Amino acid sequence: MPGAAAPTVTPPPVLSGTADQTDAKTRELCEMAARRAGLRLDDLVMAQLFEGAPYALRMVERLRRDHGLHHEPANVFSFPASRLGLVQSS
């Protein structure tokens, strides 16, 4: 509608407030990884890294490791048959 005012939008918070709950070992790992990557992160971005790192590290722990180094990723990744529509539900 012409002349209508746009609604006020409040952006979501940048942090969830859990950065201070990150253990010392994970904090050290994050700082070392940032340093090795040549990143100079300010406090806000470092806090985001501290908040996300525990989740990313848990995901890494769930990755399969039972394949040889010569296998390409496409050769070891597969969807369950039910996701491909190959299994008929009764």
d(Cα 90, Cα 87) in Å, to the nearest integer?
A: 9
Integer angstrom CA distances of residue 35 from 13, 14, 26, 89 = 26, 22, 14, 51
CB 57 within 8 A of CB 27: no
Reported pTM: 0.62
Q: What is the pLDDT along the chain (90 residues), one digit of tens a residue?
A: 888 999 999 988 888 888 889 999 999 999 999 999 999 999 999 999 999 999 999 999 988 778 777 777 665 566 777 766 665 555
d(Cα 49, Cα 30) in Å, to the nearest integer?
A: 7
